[in-house]
A = this chain, B = another copy of it.
Amino acid sequence: TITASMEDYLEMIYRLAGKKGYTRMGDLASALNVQPPSASKMVQKLADMGYLQFEKYGVIELSKKGQEHGQYLLKRHETLERFLSIIGVKEQLLEETEKIEHYISPETIGKIMLLVEFMENNFEWKQAFYEFQKHEG
**A112 vs B137: C-alpha distance in the bound complex, in angstroms?**
11
A31 at the interface (CB under 8 A from B): no
A49 at the interface (CB under 8 A from B): no
For A, the interface residue count at a CB cutoff of 8 angstroms equals: 31
- Beyond the given pairs A87-B112, A114-B136, 18 more chain A to chain B contacts, judged by CB atoms under 8 angstroms and listed by A's residue number, are A84-B108, A84-B111, A87-B115, A89-B107, A89-B111, A91-B105, A92-B105, A99-B103, A100-B103, A100-B104, A102-B103, A103-B103, A110-B137, A117-B132, A117-B136, A118-B129, A118-B132, A125-B128
A positions within 8 Å CB-CB of B:
84, 87-92, 96, 99-100, 102-105, 107-108, 110-112, 114-115, 117-118, 122, 125, 128-129, 132-133, 136-137
